[in-house]
Amino acid sequence: MIELSKLGEMLSVASYDELMDDFELVGEPLEEGPWPMAIPSKLSDKLMIIEEDEIISVCAKWVEIEEFYDSDKEGLSQYIKELKEFLNANPAPFFLVNAL
C-alpha cells in the first residue's frame, strides 16, 4: 500500500493520504491477516495507460523511497511494465494482500 500510494502521488493520481484512504479492505479483517485490499481504481486506471517515458521518469524517483532501499530502477520499471500488461489483460478490480 505504501509503495503504491507513493507511486500514485508521484504520478499525480492523488495525494499519498488520499490513495492510502482509498485502499478498500475486502471481507472481514482478521487480527493476524492476511488483509486483501482493492487497489484504488484511479491508480489502476493510470497504470493501464502509463507511457514508457513516464515509467522511466517515475522509477528514477520511486527507487529513492525508503521501502525500496535495495531495489534498482530497472527492476521497478519492469514491475510497472508487467503490472500495466496484467491490468490491461484483466480489466477488473485488482487486489493487494497485506500480511504480517
Across 1-5, 6-10, 92-96, least confident range: 92-96
Q: How far apart are CA 47 and CA 55, in angstroms?
A: 9
At residue 100, the pLDDT reads: 55
Structural domain boundaries, residue 8 = 2-98
Number of domains within the chain: 1
pLDDT for the residue numbered 99: 61
Q: Are 58 and 76 a contacting pair, CB within 8 Å?
A: no
- The answer to whether residues 63 and 84 touch, using CB atoms and an 8 Å cutoff, is no
Written in H, E and C, the secondary structure of 51-88 is CHHHHHHHHHHHCCCHHHCCCCHHHHHHHHHHHHHHHH
The three-class DSSP label of residue 94 is coil
Indicate the pTM of the whole model: 0.86
pLDDT in tens, 13-65: 999 999 999 998 887 777 777 888 889 999 999 999 999 999 999 999 999 99
